[in-house]
Amino acid sequence: MKRLLHKLLSKKEKIEPVCSAVVAAAGSSRRMGGGNKLLLPLEGIPVLARTLRALDEAELVAEIVVAAREEDLLPIADLCKTYGIVKPVKIVRGGETRGASVLAAALECREDAAFIAVHDGARPLAEPELIDRVIRLAMRTNAAAPAVPVKDTIKVAADGKVVSTPDRETLRCVQTPQVFDGALLRAALQAALAADAPITDDCSAVERMGKEVYLTEGSYENIKITTPEDMALAAAILQRREEALG
């Protein structure tokens, strides 16, 4: 009888640690040619709304904290209402750099958030399943990101000349969301900002601390909207998804 009771108790649903999602949305959109690319329509829905919807539908995301430019705080709040974001959303003023913006948002995450998933506002095609997959890996390893193999041959160059050719088999294009133990992420960003270190993503900040970052399978469709050409590609991907469902 005791064994049976133990088995029944052990089968109770495991309580997952809390994960907050931070959305980096305070960029200048310089390469888009003006305006805020996150508010541009992508197949009829703003880029940022698609990003927020994916996080809203991810099973393991408990809340969303958006770091935005001051002039975009109210438009983004309206966008959340218009497109029916259900999970709690906070919108905070971003900093002068991406790292400062992510840190500002990370400091506003709920106190019991053991993990923080940092996602680019300009990656509207990340699917909820991918988001949850990265979070689950981070819950085992403390630091995780999605990545895809590099397709092109990469050259290291200086002064217009090739210096070396890295082995393509070892190269990966790293995407977001990048998910970390919350305390680790905050400490890493604070250290990088204090040292004025050139970090290109949040993994870079964590790597500076000597911590390992684990990679999981990303998606070639999880593109970042940077230029007008990316908008056209994103629209084509969405159209193909619609056709597949139809």
Query: What is the predicted pLDDT for the residue at 27?
Result: 82
Query: What is the predicted pLDDT for the residue at 198?
Result: 87
3.40.50.300, 3.30.70.260, 3.90.550.10, 3.40.50.2000: which CATH number matches 17-143+176-245? 3.90.550.10
Taking 50 as the pLDDT cut, the residues of the chain under it are 5, 11-12
| pLDDT digit string, tens, across residues 65-99 | 999 999 999 999 999 999 999 999 999 999 999 99
Dump strand ranges (E) for 79-123. Answer: 89-93, 113-120
Query: What is the predicted pLDDT for the residue at 246?
Result: 74
Measure the CA–CA gap between 162 and 168, rounded to whole angstroms.
15
Measure the CA–CA gap between 66 and 73, rounded to whole angstroms.
9
Tokens standing for residue 191: 């250290």
176 Rama class: left (phi>0) / alpha (psi -120 to 50) / beta: beta
Q: Where are the domains of the chain?
A: 17-143+176-245
Whole-structure pTM value: 0.91
Query: What is the predicted pLDDT for the residue at 200?
Result: 87
Report the half-sphere exposure of 4 (CA within 13 A, side-chain side).
1
Q: Residues near 223 by Cβ (< 8 Å), separated by ≥ 6?
A: 123, 125, 230, 233, 234, 237
Query: Which string of b and e fits 45-68 if b means at least 16 CB within 10 Å?
Result: ebbbbbbbbbbbbbebbbbbbbbb
> What 3-state class would DSSP assign to 109?
coil
Query: What is the predicted pLDDT for the residue at 12?
Result: 45
